Every structure is written in C-alpha cells, then in structure tokens.
A and B are shown apart, each in its own frame.
Chain A
Amino acid sequence: MKEFHYQRASDIHEAIAAVSASPGARFIAGGTNLLDLMKLEIETPSTLVDISRLPLTQIEAASGGGLRIGALVTNSDLAAAPIVRQRYPMLAQAILAGASGQLRNRASVGGNLLQRTRCFYFYDRAMPCNKRSPGTGCAAIEGFNRIHAVLGMSEHCIATHPSDMAVAMAALDARVETIAADGSQRSLSFGELYRLPGRTPHIETNLARGELITAVVLPAPASGRQSYRKVRDRASYAFALVSVAAVLDVDSGRIRDARIAFGGLAPTPGRSAGAEAALIGGTAGRDTFLAAADAALQGARGYADNGFKIPLARRTLVAVLQQISDRKGNRLATGRGESHGRVQYLRSRGLPQARRSELCR
C-alpha cells in the first residue's frame, strides 16, 4: 500500500474542503472496497479523509411518502430497517444477496454505489486495463470474459458494475443527493450519476472532485409487487452473473405498471425502458414476459465466454415476472433472491430434465 495522509473529518464541509483541495485525496467510509484496492495499489490516494463519523446515518421519511437514506447508513442497517423490509422489500433482498455479514456491517450505502468493478483485469496490474491505466487497452475483450458486460460496454471497456443494492435502487427510481465543493447541493438520477464507459472508462460518475454523496432518496414505492433475484456461481457470497429487480403491478391479468432493472449485464445500474414499455398494458403471461426480455436484451452482445448471460437474463426475467404474477394475496411483496442458484430456479420453472441440463450448461 502506498503511503497516505490520514485525516478524520469533523463535519461535512471540512471533509469536502479537504478532498477538493487535493487531487489525490479520497473519502473513506467503510473502506471495504477502497482498502482492498489500495493494498493492490490500484487505488493510491495521497490523503484519506475519514467521513465515517459524519452524521449521515439516518433513515427518515422523505416528502411524498419516500425515504431518505443517509450515505453512511451501513448496508446491514438498511437491509434490517423495518420500513425497508415492509415497503421496499426488494432493496432488502438485494442487499442481503450481496457480500457477507461482516462486509455489510462495514460497507456504507454511498460506498456501495461507488464501488469499483470486479473485472479480473482491473485487479491485475500486470495486465492492460483502460479503467485502471487509461490508454493501455482492455485485456478482457480478448481474455477470459465470463463475468463481463453484454450491454452498454464499449470497445474500451466491458466491465460490469458489481452492486446488487444499486440494481434494486435503480428499479426503485432512487436519486442521489450530493454536496459539492462550493457548497451547492444537487440531486441526481442514477442515469445522471453514472457514466457509460465510452472512450473514458476510468471516469465512472459525473461527480466533481470533492462532491460528496450525502443521501439516497427513494420515492414512494411504485404500486405492485417487488422481487430481486440473483443468479451466481455459488449459493451465497458471490457476485451476480445476472440479477433482476422487478416491480410488477397486475390488475385482472393486465399489467398496469412495471419497473425492471438488471445486474451483471452492464457497466452501470439502470432501468430497462424497453422491458417496461413491453410490459405495461400487456397481459401478464409468458408471451409478454418474453417480449419484455427481448426488448431488454435488444442489442446485447456476448464475447467468447459470457454469451450465456443473454439467455440466462432472458430466463431469469421471465421466471421473476412469472413468480410475481403467480403470487397470491395482497401483500406488497414477498419472494426472495435466488438463494440456491440454478436448482431453485429450475424447480420454480418446473422444466423437464432435458431442458434443465440445457440450462445448467
């Protein structure tokens, strides 16, 4: 790890001033991703400004029936909050599907949004990586790219955003509140916060230097039932190959409203306008769900090892929507993430053995 100067900020403005003043300064909250990257000298801040004691740990009602979540609320506290579990259950599900108990206890909400990709080549300093060392090339495009993006990538970078929490928040139309170096405050949608890689994959957000995320604001939940499902190589403690966050409002067999976001497919978390348009107004059933999947995955492109993500995403979306629309009762939401990977998924689909083996490849 490179040497750095450590400073504990006593208030928000001091923290912002300290990071704004030095190009190499970084905020540190939970540190679960940043310290890992600092040990590998992928991140080499000259100063760490410790914001972990700042008073940004409240979960409180926001106007219009929404929820304001302080940027320093831990992942654990957010997933355990009764209001989240009751009104935004897919957010609790998404958080609980990620990392381990130990990491969730330390990781902050703001840090989760800004965590870096888990691309193997980003982590390997011996390899080219435009995100880590701009201009060196992308080793993943011709390399082992099983975990990489099929949507939204560029010829310069095919890394994915690793967060589960952000996928659920995207489907819930979260906005991010920030304070900038000049004291100005603004509110950003995820589309405004995150940048697609394009020619500059090392620039991942539109935040200015020293601009601090202070809160995430969720509007009142869209009507309908929510679900987050994650498909991965292990049943627990692994990043998503594919995940789906879905809100579906079905009335007498007709889809009134839908919110869909995918994880594991793209460089940034965001809603799929195509899938939602294909669903809204349609009949809740397999044909509509397949059409939504086709719309979501239009233009998707696989590389040597990750082509499986496209049919996997299609099947996962259909399964989630089927599960939600089959669910009885009037409760806002239940369901859970993909706890036992493919087995659970296959059982829920009731597929014959031949089809199962095809899916399990």
Chain B
Amino acid sequence: MAGSGWRRRDVLRSAALVGEILATAPATAQTTDSRREAVREAGTRIPPTTLTINQRQYAIEVDPRTTLLDALREHIGLTGTKKACDQGQCGACTVLLNGRRINSCLTLAVMLEGDDITTIEGVGNGDTLHPVQSAFIAQDAFQCGYCTSGQICSVVGMLAEAAAGWPSHVTDDVATSPSLTDAEIAERMSGNLCRCAAYPNIVAAIRDVVKGTAE
C-alpha cells in the first residue's frame, strides 16, 4: 500500500463523497443497499428524511429502522462516528444532538428531522481542531483510537453541561454547581468506555481543556 499513495482514510473519504452525492440526489441514487432494494421491490416508497449534520443538509431514503449511527456511517458516509456495542453501553457512537451528547445507536434517524446533529467531523472548524481534539493529542489520550471520536464528542457535550451548572452523581450537594475535579470528570465520562484503558490521559486532556477555559 505504501507505493499507492492511498491511505485508509482517503478511501473512506472518497466513499464519503459518493455517499454525499447519493444523499443529495435521492431520486436517482443507485445503491446496493439490499434493504432499500427489497423495499423498492415491494413497491413501497420511502419518503426522504432530511438530516442536518454539521450544518449541512442530507436527504436520505432510509428504512425507519435505521439508527442515526447507521445513517451516518452507511448512508451518509460520515464514518468518524464508531459502532461498537450498538446498545448504548460503550459510548463509541456519541454525537451531539442540538448540542447535547447522545448515543446515536439508540436513536432512529427518522425521528431527527429538524434537529442539529454534530459529529466528530463537525466539532472542529475545517483544519482547525477543537480544543478538546488538541488536548487529546497533546495528552496522548488514546491508543487504538476506536473510542476516541465518541470520547471527544462526549467531552464537548459534558463541558457544556458543566458550564450550565449541572451537578453529577459525585457532587456533594446537588443544589450547587461543582467545578470539574478529576472525580467529577471521571463520573461524567462514565458513559464512554476505552478498552485500551487510556482513562488517565483522557482525564488529563479534559483537565487541560478546563484549565484553558478558566484562564
């Protein structure tokens, strides 16, 4: 592969591009998606679902059973959001829905018309990384990287929750708005598992972001 000049990411990117073209031209889209073909054969027309993802609109024809996670990865080509447990236990699929972190595996795409969805591809600004992304790199807050996009989206949502004054399970007095100690960070991030156990560096990265925000 070294001589080809293609990296996995490039391949995925080109696939994503195709996905976007398909997504924006639903009437003419040809796809091998067997489920969609089956529905076509049955003569049922699927009304398009319009999703607003990273401030851009995608019209997709999806079976109502499609989760947001599968819509992102398989219909739109935004593969930064990862699929792991697919049952809301690991957090790898975390995205932001109207600014709040959710598990995209436990949400139906058809339910989200009119909502603002932000995925890992949209947390930064072009080539400028989001401060949480930079902190993860600086603190080496990952090993295999599979949970990382979910971790980062979760941190962005969690920081907004903390900024809004939300308490957590480890807050001594829930009537108060605690500062983000390491214990608070760990508790608030418990919905994101990392099987490489990069937790200490994840906490360190978040601590850096919190300090940066405070300065």
- B-contacting residues of A (Cβ < 8 Å)? 1, 3-6, 8, 28, 31-32, 35-36, 39, 48, 50, 52, 76, 79-80, 82, 85-86, 89, 92-93, 96-97, 99-103, 105-106, 235-237, 334, 336-337, 339
Cβ of B86 within 8 Å of any chain A Cβ, yes or no, is yes
The reply to whether A76 and B108 contact each other, CB–CB distance below 8 Å, is no
B179 within 8 A of A: no
154-190 of chain B: CB within 8 A of chain A = 154, 157-158, 161, 164-175, 186-190
Q: A336 touching B111 by the CB < 8 A rule?
A: no
Known: A101-B161, A102-B191. A31 touches B108 (CB 8 A): yes
CB distance from B82 to the nearest CB of A (A): 14
Smallest CB-CB separation from B171: which chain A residue?
A: A336
Q: Which residues of B contact A235 (CB under 8 A)?
A: 187
Write out the residue numbers on chain B whose beta carbons fall within 8 Å of the beta carbon of A337: 169
Q: Are A31 and B166 in contact (CB under 8 A)?
A: no
Closest chain B residue, CB of each to CB of A123: B87
Q: Given A336-B174, A337-B169 in contact, is the A103-B191 Cβ separation under 8 Å? A: yes
Candidates A1, A3, A86, A236; contact of B187 at CB < 8 Å: A236
- Decide if B111 touches A28 in the complex (CB within 8 Å): yes
A28 to B156 Cα, complex, angstroms: 27
Report the 10 A-B pairs with minimum CB-CB distance, sorted nearest first: A100-B191, A236-B190, A6-B64, A237-B190, A96-B169, A92-B174, A80-B166, A105-B100, A334-B173, A85-B175
In this complex, what residue of A is CB-closest to B158? A101
A172 to chain B, nearest CB (A): 15
Choose one: B63, B64, B87, B165; the contact of A39 (CB below 8 Å). B87
Residue pairs across A and B with Cβ atoms less than 8 A apart, 6 shown, are A28-B111, A48-B64, A82-B175, A103-B88, A334-B173, A334-B175
Interchain pairs with CB closer than 8 A, number:
123
Also in contact, A106 and B167, with CB within 8 A (given A86-B175, A236-B187): no
Cβ-defined contact, A32 with B106, below 8 A: yes
Q: What are the residues of chain A within 8 A of B190 when measuring CB–CB?
A: 100-101, 236-237
Chain A nearest CB: distance from B96 CB in Å? Answer: 10
Contact of A236 with B154 at beta-carbon distance under 8 Å, contacts A101-B191, A103-B191 already known = no
Contact among A86, A96, A100 for B91, CB-based, below 8 A: A100
A124 to chain B, nearest CB (A): 14
Instruction: With both chains docked as a complex, state the minimum distance between the C-beta of A324 and any C-beta of chain B, in angstroms.
Output: 14
Max chain A C-beta neighbours (<10 A), residue from B87, B94, B97, B108: B108
User: Nearest residue in B to A104 (C-beta to C-beta)?
Assistant: B191
Best-buried of B154, B173, B192 by chain A (most CB within 10 Å): B173
B1 CB to nearest chain A CB (Å): 36
A106/B65 contact (C-beta < 8 A), A50-B111, A339-B187 known: no
Shortest CB distance B60–A (Å): 14
Least CB separation from A90: chain B residue: B174
From the candidates B97, B110, B166, B172, name the one contacting A336 in the complex (CB within 8 A): B172
B172 x A236 contact (CB < 8 A): no
Contacts of B161 in A (CB 8 A): 76, 80, 101
Bound-state Cα–Cα, A50 to B115, Å: 15
- Please indicate the chain B residues that have their CB under 8 angstroms from the CB of A105 in the complex: 97, 100-102, 157
Contact of A93 among B107, B157, B166, B169 (CB under 8 A): B169
Contact at B191–A35, with CB atoms within 8 Å?
no
- What residues of chain A lie closer than 8 Å to B165, measured between beta carbons? 80
User: Are A3 and B191 in touch, CB under 8 angstroms?
Assistant: no
Chain A residues, CB < 8 A from B79: none
CB of B118 within 8 Å of the partner chain: no
Evaluate contact between B108 and A35: CB separation under 8 angstroms. yes
Assembly CA distance A39 to B171 (angstroms): 35
- Known A101-B188, A336-B172; 6 more pairs at CB < 8 Å: A6-B64, A36-B88, A89-B174, A101-B191, A102-B102, A336-B170
Find chain A residues with CB under 8 A from B171 CB.
96, 336
Do B111 and A80 touch (CB < 8 A)? Answer: no
Residue numbers in B under 8 Å from A35 (CB-CB): 67, 106-108
Closest chain A CB from B107 CB (angstroms) = 6
Closest to B38 in A: A3
Which residues of chain A have C-beta atoms less than 8 A from B172's C-beta?
Answer: 334, 336
In angstroms, how far is the closest chain A Cβ from the Cβ of B154? 7
Task: Please report the C-alpha to C-alpha distance between residue A99 and residue B64 in the assembled complex, in whole angstroms.
Answer: 26
A36 and B87 contacting across the interface, CB-CB below 8 Å:
yes
Shortest CB distance A2–B (Å): 8
> Which residues from chain B contact A36 at a C-beta distance below 8 Å?
87-88, 106
